[in-house]
Amino acid sequence: MKKYKFCFIGAGNVATHLSTELQKCGHEVVQVYSRSEESAKQLADRLNTDFTISTKSIIQTADIYIVALKDSVVDQVLSQTEFNDKLLVHCSGSMPMNVLSKYTKNYGVFYPLQTFSKKRDVDFKTIPIFVEANSDNNQLKLEELANEISNSVTVLDSEKRKSLHIAAVFACNFTNHCYAMAAKYLESKELPFDILRPLIAETANKVQHLHPKEAQTGPAIRFDENIINAHLEDLKEMPDLQELYNSISKSIFEYHQEKK
Amino acid sequence: MKKYKFCFIGAGNVATHLSTELQKCGHEVVQVYSRSEESAKQLADRLNTDFTISTKSIIQTADIYIVALKDSVVDQVLSQTEFNDKLLVHCSGSMPMNVLSKYTKNYGVFYPLQTFSKKRDVDFKTIPIFVEANSDNNQLKLEELANEISNSVTVLDSEKRKSLHIAAVFACNFTNHCYAMAAKYLESKELPFDILRPLIAETANKVQHLHPKEAQTGPAIRFDENIINAHLEDLKEMPDLQELYNSISKSIFEYHQEKK
Protein backbone atom coordinates (compact mmCIF):
# COMPACT_ATOMS: atom_id res chain seq x y z
CA MET A 1 0.00 0.00 0.00
CA LYS A 2 1.35 3.42 -0.92
CA LYS A 3 2.32 5.58 2.06
CA TYR A 4 1.44 9.27 1.98
CA LYS A 5 2.59 12.48 3.61
CA PHE A 6 -0.31 14.14 5.42
CA CYS A 7 -0.82 17.66 6.63
CA PHE A 8 -3.63 18.01 9.21
CA ILE A 9 -5.51 21.30 9.17
CA GLY A 10 -7.23 21.24 12.53
CA ALA A 11 -6.15 19.57 15.77
CA GLY A 12 -9.43 18.77 17.49
CA ASN A 13 -11.02 15.43 18.37
CA VAL A 14 -11.36 14.10 14.82
CA ALA A 15 -7.91 15.29 13.72
CA THR A 16 -6.31 13.78 16.82
CA HIS A 17 -7.77 10.32 16.33
CA LEU A 18 -7.54 10.17 12.55
CA SER A 19 -3.95 11.41 12.35
CA THR A 20 -2.89 8.98 15.07
CA GLU A 21 -4.51 6.10 13.22
CA LEU A 22 -2.95 7.01 9.86
CA GLN A 23 0.45 7.26 11.49
CA LYS A 24 -0.06 3.81 13.04
CA CYS A 25 -0.65 2.47 9.52
CA GLY A 26 2.74 3.77 8.39
CA HIS A 27 1.73 7.09 6.84
CA GLU A 28 3.62 10.21 7.75
CA VAL A 29 2.02 13.29 9.30
CA VAL A 30 4.40 16.05 8.28
CA GLN A 31 2.62 18.99 9.89
CA VAL A 32 -0.31 20.00 12.07
CA TYR A 33 -1.99 23.38 11.69
CA SER A 34 -4.41 24.76 14.26
CA ARG A 35 -5.60 28.24 15.12
CA SER A 36 -4.94 27.33 18.73
CA GLU A 37 -1.28 26.96 19.64
CA GLU A 38 -2.13 24.72 22.56
CA SER A 39 -4.06 22.26 20.37
CA ALA A 40 -1.48 22.38 17.55
CA LYS A 41 1.38 21.69 19.93
CA GLN A 42 -0.48 18.97 21.79
CA LEU A 43 -1.25 17.01 18.63
CA ALA A 44 2.19 17.63 17.08
CA ASP A 45 3.80 16.30 20.28
CA ARG A 46 1.59 13.24 20.20
CA LEU A 47 2.63 12.58 16.60
CA ASN A 48 6.20 13.73 17.09
CA THR A 49 5.94 16.17 14.18
CA ASP A 50 5.91 19.92 13.42
CA PHE A 51 3.11 22.37 13.88
CA THR A 52 2.16 25.87 12.82
CA ILE A 53 -0.52 28.35 13.78
CA SER A 54 0.00 30.49 10.68
CA THR A 55 -1.90 29.61 7.50
CA LYS A 56 0.99 31.17 5.53
CA SER A 57 3.31 28.49 6.92
CA ILE A 58 1.20 25.50 5.98
CA ILE A 59 3.64 23.11 4.35
CA GLN A 60 3.71 22.78 0.53
CA THR A 61 5.08 19.25 0.35
CA ALA A 62 2.30 17.08 1.76
CA ASP A 63 0.48 14.62 -0.55
CA ILE A 64 -2.88 14.88 1.18
CA TYR A 65 -4.33 17.72 3.26
CA ILE A 66 -6.99 16.71 5.77
CA VAL A 67 -9.28 19.49 6.93
CA ALA A 68 -10.82 18.72 10.32
CA LEU A 69 -12.05 22.14 11.40
CA LYS A 70 -15.37 23.45 12.63
CA ASP A 71 -17.38 24.04 9.41
CA SER A 72 -17.77 27.77 10.03
CA VAL A 73 -14.04 28.52 9.85
CA VAL A 74 -13.07 26.28 6.94
CA ASP A 75 -13.34 28.95 4.26
CA GLN A 76 -11.44 31.49 6.28
CA VAL A 77 -8.52 29.10 6.85
CA LEU A 78 -8.35 27.52 3.39
CA SER A 79 -8.56 30.80 1.49
CA GLN A 80 -5.18 31.81 2.92
CA THR A 81 -3.40 28.66 1.78
CA GLU A 82 -1.90 27.33 -1.48
CA PHE A 83 -2.60 23.68 -2.25
CA ASN A 84 -0.97 23.37 -5.71
CA ASP A 85 -3.70 20.97 -6.79
CA LYS A 86 -2.81 18.45 -4.11
CA LEU A 87 -5.60 16.25 -2.73
CA LEU A 88 -7.64 18.25 -0.20
CA VAL A 89 -10.12 16.33 1.95
CA HIS A 90 -12.56 17.41 4.64
CA CYS A 91 -14.06 15.31 7.44
CA SER A 92 -17.35 17.08 7.92
CA GLY A 93 -20.75 15.41 7.90
CA SER A 94 -22.59 18.52 6.84
CA MET A 95 -20.42 20.36 4.31
CA PRO A 96 -20.88 19.45 0.66
CA MET A 97 -17.73 18.21 -1.06
CA ASN A 98 -17.83 21.08 -3.52
CA VAL A 99 -16.88 23.72 -0.97
CA LEU A 100 -13.32 22.54 -1.66
CA SER A 101 -13.43 23.00 -5.45
CA LYS A 102 -12.12 26.53 -5.40
CA TYR A 103 -8.89 25.54 -3.68
CA THR A 104 -7.61 22.64 -5.78
CA LYS A 105 -8.46 20.33 -8.68
CA ASN A 106 -8.34 17.27 -6.42
CA TYR A 107 -10.68 17.03 -3.47
CA GLY A 108 -12.91 14.75 -1.53
CA VAL A 109 -14.48 13.84 1.81
CA PHE A 110 -13.45 11.34 4.46
CA TYR A 111 -16.18 11.15 7.11
CA PRO A 112 -15.75 8.77 10.05
CA LEU A 113 -19.12 8.33 11.75
CA GLN A 114 -18.13 8.29 15.39
CA THR A 115 -18.01 10.48 18.50
CA PHE A 116 -14.39 11.28 19.28
CA SER A 117 -13.01 12.70 22.50
CA LYS A 118 -9.29 13.27 22.95
CA LYS A 119 -9.32 11.48 26.29
CA ARG A 120 -10.72 8.26 24.91
CA ASP A 121 -9.21 5.71 22.53
CA VAL A 122 -11.38 4.24 19.80
CA ASP A 123 -11.14 1.13 17.65
CA PHE A 124 -11.14 2.48 14.10
CA LYS A 125 -11.82 -0.96 12.61
CA THR A 126 -15.45 -0.73 13.78
CA ILE A 127 -16.03 2.86 12.66
CA PRO A 128 -18.04 3.30 9.44
CA ILE A 129 -16.18 5.65 7.08
CA PHE A 130 -17.99 7.44 4.26
CA VAL A 131 -15.93 8.76 1.35
CA GLU A 132 -16.61 10.89 -1.70
CA ALA A 133 -14.26 12.43 -4.27
CA ASN A 134 -14.28 14.60 -7.37
CA SER A 135 -12.73 11.91 -9.60
CA ASP A 136 -12.54 8.13 -9.82
CA ASN A 137 -8.84 8.29 -9.13
CA ASN A 138 -9.25 10.36 -5.98
CA GLN A 139 -12.14 8.22 -4.86
CA LEU A 140 -10.06 5.07 -5.22
CA LYS A 141 -7.28 6.66 -3.20
CA LEU A 142 -9.66 7.57 -0.37
CA GLU A 143 -11.33 4.17 -0.43
CA GLU A 144 -7.96 2.45 -0.14
CA LEU A 145 -6.98 4.68 2.76
CA ALA A 146 -10.30 4.11 4.52
CA ASN A 147 -10.00 0.35 4.05
CA GLU A 148 -6.60 0.43 5.71
CA ILE A 149 -8.11 1.68 8.95
CA SER A 150 -11.74 0.49 8.95
CA ASN A 151 -13.77 -2.62 8.11
CA SER A 152 -16.74 -0.52 7.02
CA VAL A 153 -16.18 1.81 4.06
CA THR A 154 -18.96 3.27 1.90
CA VAL A 155 -19.00 5.75 -0.97
CA LEU A 156 -21.73 8.28 -0.19
CA ASP A 157 -22.69 11.56 -1.85
CA SER A 158 -22.89 14.88 0.00
CA GLU A 159 -26.67 14.93 0.25
CA LYS A 160 -26.89 11.48 1.87
CA ARG A 161 -23.95 12.28 4.10
CA LYS A 162 -25.80 15.31 5.43
CA SER A 163 -28.82 13.13 6.21
CA LEU A 164 -26.56 10.71 8.01
CA HIS A 165 -25.09 13.54 10.03
CA ILE A 166 -28.53 14.72 11.13
CA ALA A 167 -29.38 11.19 12.25
CA ALA A 168 -26.07 11.02 14.09
CA VAL A 169 -26.86 14.22 15.96
CA PHE A 170 -30.03 12.55 17.28
CA ALA A 171 -28.39 9.20 18.03
CA CYS A 172 -25.27 10.56 19.64
CA ASN A 173 -25.32 14.24 20.68
CA PHE A 174 -28.96 14.28 21.78
CA THR A 175 -28.61 10.91 23.46
CA ASN A 176 -25.60 12.12 25.38
CA HIS A 177 -27.56 15.17 26.44
CA CYS A 178 -30.25 12.89 27.87
CA TYR A 179 -27.48 11.28 29.95
CA ALA A 180 -26.29 14.74 30.98
CA MET A 181 -29.76 15.83 32.07
CA ALA A 182 -30.15 12.61 34.06
CA ALA A 183 -26.81 13.33 35.72
CA LYS A 184 -27.77 16.93 36.47
CA TYR A 185 -31.03 15.83 38.05
CA LEU A 186 -29.42 13.09 40.15
CA GLU A 187 -26.74 15.51 41.34
CA SER A 188 -29.45 17.93 42.48
CA LYS A 189 -30.86 15.07 44.59
CA GLU A 190 -27.44 13.98 45.87
CA LEU A 191 -27.62 10.66 44.08
CA PRO A 192 -24.58 9.39 42.11
CA PHE A 193 -24.64 9.16 38.28
CA ASP A 194 -22.93 5.75 38.62
CA ILE A 195 -26.16 3.94 39.34
CA LEU A 196 -27.46 4.72 35.83
CA ARG A 197 -24.51 3.20 33.98
CA PRO A 198 -25.87 -0.36 33.64
CA LEU A 199 -29.17 1.08 32.38
CA ILE A 200 -27.39 3.26 29.82
CA ALA A 201 -25.30 0.32 28.61
CA GLU A 202 -28.34 -1.93 28.21
CA THR A 203 -30.38 0.79 26.47
CA ALA A 204 -27.67 0.99 23.79
CA ASN A 205 -27.14 -2.79 23.68
CA LYS A 206 -30.82 -3.43 23.06
CA VAL A 207 -30.82 -1.48 19.80
CA GLN A 208 -27.77 -3.36 18.56
CA HIS A 209 -30.35 -6.08 17.90
CA LEU A 210 -33.84 -4.60 18.13
CA HIS A 211 -35.28 -1.63 16.26
CA PRO A 212 -35.65 1.26 18.74
CA LYS A 213 -39.42 1.22 18.27
CA GLU A 214 -39.52 -2.32 19.68
CA ALA A 215 -37.07 -1.45 22.44
CA GLN A 216 -39.03 1.43 23.97
CA THR A 217 -40.29 1.09 27.58
CA GLY A 218 -41.42 3.51 30.30
CA PRO A 219 -44.33 5.77 31.16
CA ALA A 220 -44.47 7.87 27.96
CA ILE A 221 -45.14 4.97 25.59
CA ARG A 222 -48.10 3.92 27.78
CA PHE A 223 -48.96 7.58 28.29
CA ASP A 224 -49.22 6.85 31.98
CA GLU A 225 -50.56 10.25 33.03
CA ASN A 226 -50.23 9.61 36.75
CA ILE A 227 -46.50 9.12 36.43
CA ILE A 228 -45.93 11.78 33.79
CA ASN A 229 -47.78 14.43 35.79
CA ALA A 230 -46.00 13.49 39.00
CA HIS A 231 -42.65 13.73 37.22
CA LEU A 232 -43.51 17.11 35.69
CA GLU A 233 -44.53 18.36 39.12
CA ASP A 234 -41.22 17.15 40.58
CA LEU A 235 -39.30 18.91 37.83
CA LYS A 236 -40.92 22.28 38.39
CA GLU A 237 -37.80 23.66 40.06
CA MET A 238 -35.75 22.79 36.99
CA PRO A 239 -37.75 24.35 34.15
CA ASP A 240 -35.19 23.35 31.50
CA LEU A 241 -35.59 19.68 32.38
CA GLN A 242 -39.33 20.05 32.75
CA GLU A 243 -39.62 21.45 29.23
CA LEU A 244 -37.53 18.66 27.74
CA TYR A 245 -39.45 16.05 29.71
CA ASN A 246 -42.71 17.38 28.37
CA SER A 247 -41.72 17.67 24.72
CA ILE A 248 -39.90 14.32 24.50
CA SER A 249 -42.72 12.47 26.31
CA LYS A 250 -45.26 13.88 23.87
CA SER A 251 -43.07 12.93 20.95
CA ILE A 252 -42.68 9.35 22.24
CA PHE A 253 -46.41 8.97 22.65
CA GLU A 254 -47.17 10.40 19.20
CA TYR A 255 -44.52 8.26 17.52
CA HIS A 256 -45.98 5.10 19.01
CA GLN A 257 -49.46 6.10 17.85
CA GLU A 258 -48.22 6.33 14.23
CA LYS A 259 -49.07 3.44 11.94
CA LYS A 260 -46.47 0.70 12.02
CA MET B 1 -31.18 -19.42 51.82
CA LYS B 2 -34.89 -19.76 52.45
CA LYS B 3 -36.95 -20.50 49.35
CA TYR B 4 -40.29 -18.74 48.95
CA LYS B 5 -43.55 -19.23 47.09
CA PHE B 6 -44.24 -16.22 44.87
CA CYS B 7 -47.39 -14.98 43.23
CA PHE B 8 -46.81 -12.49 40.40
CA ILE B 9 -49.49 -9.86 39.92
CA GLY B 10 -48.70 -8.60 36.45
CA ALA B 11 -47.11 -10.42 33.51
CA GLY B 12 -45.36 -7.65 31.61
CA ASN B 13 -41.67 -7.05 30.98
CA VAL B 14 -40.58 -6.66 34.62
CA ALA B 15 -42.72 -9.55 35.85
CA THR B 16 -41.40 -11.82 33.10
CA HIS B 17 -37.74 -11.21 33.84
CA LEU B 18 -37.97 -11.05 37.62
CA SER B 19 -40.10 -14.18 37.98
CA THR B 20 -37.79 -16.12 35.65
CA GLU B 21 -34.78 -15.04 37.66
CA LEU B 22 -36.32 -15.94 41.02
CA GLN B 23 -37.31 -19.34 39.68
CA LYS B 24 -33.73 -19.88 38.47
CA CYS B 25 -32.57 -19.25 42.05
CA GLY B 26 -34.81 -22.05 43.31
CA HIS B 27 -37.85 -20.09 44.40
CA GLU B 28 -41.28 -21.25 43.33
CA VAL B 29 -43.68 -19.12 41.33
CA VAL B 30 -47.06 -20.62 42.26
CA GLN B 31 -49.28 -18.36 40.16
CA VAL B 32 -49.32 -15.51 37.64
CA TYR B 33 -52.17 -13.02 37.51
CA SER B 34 -52.68 -10.64 34.61
CA ARG B 35 -55.65 -8.72 33.28
CA SER B 36 -54.64 -9.99 29.84
CA GLU B 37 -55.17 -13.73 29.30
CA GLU B 38 -52.53 -13.77 26.59
CA SER B 39 -49.85 -12.28 28.85
CA ALA B 40 -50.87 -14.39 31.85
CA LYS B 41 -50.73 -17.60 29.82
CA GLN B 42 -47.47 -16.70 28.12
CA LEU B 43 -45.67 -16.09 31.40
CA ALA B 44 -47.27 -19.07 33.16
CA ASP B 45 -46.13 -21.29 30.27
CA ARG B 46 -42.61 -19.93 30.49
CA LEU B 47 -42.55 -20.68 34.23
CA ASN B 48 -44.54 -23.89 33.93
CA THR B 49 -47.06 -22.72 36.52
CA ASP B 50 -50.73 -21.68 36.85
CA PHE B 51 -52.34 -18.42 35.89
CA THR B 52 -55.55 -16.52 36.48
CA ILE B 53 -57.18 -13.44 35.03
CA SER B 54 -59.62 -13.06 37.92
CA THR B 55 -58.56 -11.10 40.98
CA LYS B 56 -60.94 -13.27 43.02
CA SER B 57 -58.85 -16.32 42.13
CA ILE B 58 -55.50 -14.93 43.21
CA ILE B 59 -53.98 -17.68 45.29
CA GLN B 60 -53.98 -17.41 49.12
CA THR B 61 -50.95 -19.58 49.79
CA ALA B 62 -48.02 -17.59 48.39
CA ASP B 63 -45.40 -16.20 50.79
CA ILE B 64 -44.64 -13.10 48.74
CA TYR B 65 -46.84 -11.23 46.26
CA ILE B 66 -44.97 -9.20 43.65
CA VAL B 67 -46.97 -6.44 42.01
CA ALA B 68 -45.56 -5.52 38.60
CA LEU B 69 -48.44 -3.61 37.05
CA LYS B 70 -48.75 -0.24 35.40
CA ASP B 71 -49.07 2.21 38.36
CA SER B 72 -52.49 3.43 37.31
CA VAL B 73 -54.19 0.04 37.72
CA VAL B 74 -52.52 -1.11 40.94
CA ASP B 75 -55.26 0.11 43.26
CA GLN B 76 -58.03 -1.32 41.16
CA VAL B 77 -56.42 -4.79 41.11
CA LEU B 78 -55.24 -4.96 44.72
CA SER B 79 -58.49 -3.73 46.23
CA GLN B 80 -60.21 -6.87 45.00
CA THR B 81 -57.73 -9.25 46.60
CA GLU B 82 -57.12 -10.65 50.12
CA PHE B 83 -53.49 -10.80 51.22
CA ASN B 84 -53.91 -12.05 54.83
CA ASP B 85 -50.95 -9.91 55.91
CA LYS B 86 -48.54 -11.70 53.62
CA LEU B 87 -45.59 -9.71 52.23
CA LEU B 88 -46.79 -7.54 49.34
CA VAL B 89 -44.12 -5.87 47.22
CA HIS B 90 -44.32 -3.56 44.22
CA CYS B 91 -41.68 -2.94 41.53
CA SER B 92 -42.49 0.62 40.59
CA GLY B 93 -40.02 3.48 40.51
CA SER B 94 -42.64 6.13 41.05
CA MET B 95 -45.17 4.79 43.55
CA PRO B 96 -44.47 5.41 47.24
CA MET B 97 -44.23 2.26 49.33
CA ASN B 98 -47.18 3.35 51.45
CA VAL B 99 -49.75 2.80 48.72
CA LEU B 100 -49.57 -0.84 49.83
CA SER B 101 -50.30 -0.19 53.53
CA LYS B 102 -54.04 -0.57 53.21
CA TYR B 103 -53.78 -4.13 51.88
CA THR B 104 -51.49 -5.85 54.37
CA LYS B 105 -49.31 -5.28 57.44
CA ASN B 106 -46.20 -6.41 55.53
CA TYR B 107 -45.11 -4.54 52.46
CA GLY B 108 -42.18 -3.17 50.57
CA VAL B 109 -40.62 -2.26 47.24
CA PHE B 110 -38.27 -4.19 44.97
CA TYR B 111 -37.17 -1.90 42.14
CA PRO B 112 -34.74 -3.23 39.53
CA LEU B 113 -33.29 -0.29 37.60
CA GLN B 114 -33.20 -1.64 34.09
CA THR B 115 -35.10 -1.58 30.79
CA PHE B 116 -36.72 -4.94 30.24
CA SER B 117 -38.18 -6.28 27.01
CA LYS B 118 -39.65 -9.76 26.83
CA LYS B 119 -37.62 -10.57 23.71
CA ARG B 120 -34.29 -9.86 25.31
CA ASP B 121 -32.41 -11.67 28.08
CA VAL B 122 -30.67 -9.65 30.74
CA ASP B 123 -27.91 -10.40 33.23
CA PHE B 124 -29.52 -9.67 36.60
CA LYS B 125 -26.15 -9.71 38.39
CA THR B 126 -25.35 -6.29 36.90
CA ILE B 127 -28.75 -4.71 37.58
CA PRO B 128 -28.92 -2.32 40.54
CA ILE B 129 -31.86 -3.26 42.78
CA PHE B 130 -33.36 -0.76 45.22
CA VAL B 131 -35.39 -2.08 48.13
CA GLU B 132 -37.52 -0.56 50.84
CA ALA B 133 -39.82 -2.16 53.43
CA ASN B 134 -42.16 -1.25 56.26
CA SER B 135 -40.17 -3.16 58.90
CA ASP B 136 -36.60 -4.27 59.54
CA ASN B 137 -37.63 -7.85 59.16
CA ASN B 138 -39.26 -7.31 55.78
CA GLN B 139 -36.37 -5.17 54.64
CA LEU B 140 -33.91 -7.90 55.53
CA LYS B 141 -35.99 -10.42 53.59
CA LEU B 142 -36.00 -8.21 50.49
CA GLU B 143 -32.29 -7.44 50.78
CA GLU B 144 -31.50 -11.14 50.97
CA LEU B 145 -33.65 -11.85 47.95
CA ALA B 146 -32.10 -9.00 45.97
CA ASN B 147 -28.60 -10.16 46.89
CA GLU B 148 -29.40 -13.60 45.54
CA ILE B 149 -29.94 -12.20 42.06
CA SER B 150 -27.86 -9.01 41.89
CA ASN B 151 -24.43 -7.72 42.89
CA SER B 152 -25.78 -4.23 43.47
CA VAL B 153 -28.42 -3.86 46.18
CA THR B 154 -29.28 -0.60 47.92
CA VAL B 155 -31.90 0.39 50.48
CA LEU B 156 -33.58 3.56 49.20
CA ASP B 157 -36.64 5.49 50.40
CA SER B 158 -39.62 6.28 48.19
CA GLU B 159 -38.67 9.91 47.61
CA LYS B 160 -35.16 9.07 46.37
CA ARG B 161 -36.50 6.19 44.31
CA LYS B 162 -38.83 8.57 42.52
CA SER B 163 -35.88 10.85 41.72
CA LEU B 164 -33.99 7.88 40.40
CA HIS B 165 -36.93 6.94 38.22
CA ILE B 166 -37.08 10.42 36.69
CA ALA B 167 -33.36 10.25 35.90
CA ALA B 168 -33.90 6.80 34.38
CA VAL B 169 -36.62 8.16 32.09
CA PHE B 170 -34.07 10.64 30.72
CA ALA B 171 -31.19 8.15 30.50
CA CYS B 172 -33.19 5.31 29.01
CA ASN B 173 -36.62 6.15 27.58
CA PHE B 174 -35.63 9.55 26.16
CA THR B 175 -32.33 8.17 24.90
CA ASN B 176 -34.11 5.35 23.12
CA HIS B 177 -36.44 7.89 21.57
CA CYS B 178 -33.44 9.75 20.17
CA TYR B 179 -32.42 6.46 18.53
CA ALA B 180 -35.97 6.06 17.22
CA MET B 181 -36.03 9.56 15.73
CA ALA B 182 -32.65 8.91 14.08
CA ALA B 183 -34.08 5.68 12.63
CA LYS B 184 -37.21 7.42 11.43
CA TYR B 185 -35.19 10.11 9.70
CA LEU B 186 -32.79 7.65 8.06
CA GLU B 187 -35.70 5.53 6.84
CA SER B 188 -37.23 8.62 5.20
CA LYS B 189 -33.92 9.03 3.32
CA GLU B 190 -33.64 5.33 2.48
CA LEU B 191 -30.56 4.86 4.59
CA PRO B 192 -30.29 1.84 6.95
CA PHE B 193 -30.40 2.27 10.76
CA ASP B 194 -27.54 -0.26 10.94
CA ILE B 195 -24.89 2.32 10.17
CA LEU B 196 -25.61 4.15 13.43
CA ARG B 197 -25.08 1.14 15.67
CA PRO B 198 -21.32 1.59 16.31
CA LEU B 199 -21.95 5.27 17.11
CA ILE B 200 -24.74 4.39 19.55
CA ALA B 201 -22.56 1.79 21.25
CA GLU B 202 -19.63 4.19 21.64
CA THR B 203 -21.87 7.02 22.89
CA ALA B 204 -23.00 4.76 25.75
CA ASN B 205 -19.52 3.32 26.32
CA LYS B 206 -17.99 6.77 26.70
CA VAL B 207 -20.15 7.61 29.70
CA GLN B 208 -19.24 4.35 31.41
CA HIS B 209 -16.00 6.23 32.13
CA LEU B 210 -16.52 9.93 31.45
CA HIS B 211 -19.16 12.26 32.84
CA PRO B 212 -21.64 13.07 30.04
CA LYS B 213 -20.66 16.74 30.20
CA GLU B 214 -17.11 15.79 29.18
CA ALA B 215 -18.33 13.35 26.56
CA GLN B 216 -20.48 15.78 24.56
CA THR B 217 -19.50 16.51 20.92
CA GLY B 218 -21.30 17.89 17.88
CA PRO B 219 -22.67 21.16 16.52
CA ALA B 220 -24.92 22.15 19.44
CA ILE B 221 -22.18 22.34 22.06
CA ARG B 222 -20.21 24.69 19.75
CA PHE B 223 -23.47 26.38 18.77
CA ASP B 224 -22.36 26.04 15.16
CA GLU B 225 -25.21 28.04 13.63
CA ASN B 226 -24.34 27.16 10.04
CA ILE B 227 -24.86 23.48 10.73
CA ILE B 228 -27.81 23.90 13.10
CA ASN B 229 -29.71 26.12 10.67
CA ALA B 230 -28.99 23.81 7.72
CA HIS B 231 -30.23 20.85 9.76
CA LEU B 232 -33.40 22.69 10.83
CA GLU B 233 -34.04 23.61 7.20
CA ASP B 234 -33.61 19.95 6.17
CA LEU B 235 -36.03 18.84 8.86
CA LYS B 236 -38.82 21.17 7.81
CA GLU B 237 -40.81 18.33 6.27
CA MET B 238 -40.75 16.48 9.58
CA PRO B 239 -41.98 19.12 12.04
CA ASP B 240 -41.92 16.69 14.99
CA LEU B 241 -38.21 16.08 14.48
CA GLN B 242 -37.55 19.73 13.77
CA GLU B 243 -39.13 20.74 17.07
CA LEU B 244 -37.12 18.19 19.04
CA TYR B 245 -33.93 19.18 17.23
CA ASN B 246 -34.49 22.79 18.12
CA SER B 247 -35.35 22.32 21.78
CA ILE B 248 -32.62 19.76 22.52
CA SER B 249 -29.94 21.82 20.71
CA LYS B 250 -30.85 24.88 22.75
CA SER B 251 -30.76 22.85 25.94
CA ILE B 252 -27.31 21.47 25.08
CA PHE B 253 -25.93 24.90 24.41
CA GLU B 254 -27.41 26.37 27.59
CA TYR B 255 -26.19 23.48 29.72
CA HIS B 256 -22.64 23.94 28.47
CA GLN B 257 -22.81 27.66 29.23
CA GLU B 258 -23.67 26.94 32.87
CA LYS B 259 -20.87 27.30 35.39
CA LYS B 260 -18.93 24.09 35.86
Report the SS3 class of residue B111.
strand
Q: What confidence score (pLDDT) does residue B243 get? A: 95
Q: What confidence score (pLDDT) does residue A260 get? A: 53
Alpha helices in chain B (DSSP H): 13-24, 37-47, 71-78, 136-149, 158-168, 175-188, 197-206, 212-215, 219-222, 225-234, 239-257
Strand partners, B8: B32, B66
B204 contacts on A by Cβ (under 8 Å): 175, 200-201, 203-205
Mutation for testing the B interface, residue in A224, A234, A248 having most B CBs under 10 Å: A248
Give the tens place of pLDDT for each residue, A56-68.
999 999 999 999 9
Q: What confidence score (pLDDT) does residue B102 get? A: 95
Q: What confidence score (pLDDT) does residue A217 get? A: 86
Cβ proximity of B252 and A173 under 8 Å: yes
Backbone angles phi, psi at B24, to 5 degrees: -55, -35
A115 contacts on B by Cβ (under 8 Å): 199, 202-203, 206, 215, 217-218
A231 contacts on B by Cβ (under 8 Å): 94, 165-166, 169
A162 contacts on B by Cβ (under 8 Å): 230, 234
Cβ proximity of A131 and A110 under 8 Å: yes
Q: How far apart are CA A182 and CA A186, in angstroms?
A: 6
Q: How far apart are CA A113 and CA A128, in angstroms?
A: 6
Q: How far apart are CA B88 and CA B94, in angstroms?
A: 17
Per-residue confidence at A47, pLDDT binned at 50, 70, 90?
very high
Task: Examine the pLDDT at B220 and tell me if it is beyond 90.
Answer: no
SS (H, E, C) chain A: CCCCEEEEECCCHHHHHHHHHHHHCCCEEEEEECCCHHHHHHHHHHHCCEEECCHHHCCCCCCEEEECCCHHHHHHHHCCCCCCCCEEEECCCCCCHHHHCCCCCEEEEEEECCCCCCCCCCCHHHCCEEEEECCHHHHHHHHHHHHHHCCCEEECCHHHHHHHHHHHHHHHHHHHHHHHHHHHHHHHCCCCHHHHHHHHHHHHHHCCCCCHHHHCCCHHHHCCHHHHHHHHHHHHHCHHHHHHHHHHHHHHHHHHHCCC
Distance of CA A161 to the CA centre of its chain: 12
Task: Examine the pLDDT at A211 and tell me if it is beyond 60.
Answer: yes
Q: Predicted ipTM?
A: 0.92
Residue type at position A49: T
- B5-156 with B162-257: one CATH topology? no
Alpha helices in B48-168 (DSSP H): 71-78, 136-149, 158-168
- Where does B5-156 sit in CATH, by number? 3.40.50.720
In what helix (H) or strand (E) does residue B28 lie, and over which residues does it extend? strand B28-33
Backbone angles phi, psi at A4, to 5 degrees: -110, 160
Residue type at position B116: F
Chain B residue with Cα closest to A214: B117
Mutation for testing the A interface, residue in B120, B121, B178, B185 having most A CBs under 10 Å: B178
Domain ranges of chain B: 5-156, 162-257
Whether chain A has a CB inside 8 Å of the CB on B155: the answer is no
Beta-carbon neighbour count of residue A134 at 10 Å?
A: 19
- Chain A, window 215-254: residues with a beta carbon less than 8 angstroms from a chain B beta carbon: 215-222, 224-227, 230-231, 234-235, 240-241, 243-245, 247-248, 251-252, 254
- Where does B162-257 sit in CATH, by number? 1.10.1040.20
Task: Examine the pLDDT at B222 and tell me if it is beyond 90.
Answer: no
Per-residue confidence at B225, pLDDT binned at 50, 70, 90?
confident
Give the tens place of pLDDT for each residue, B83-115.
999 999 999 999 999 999 999 999 999 999 999
Positive/negative CA dihedral, B68, A219, B164, A192: positive
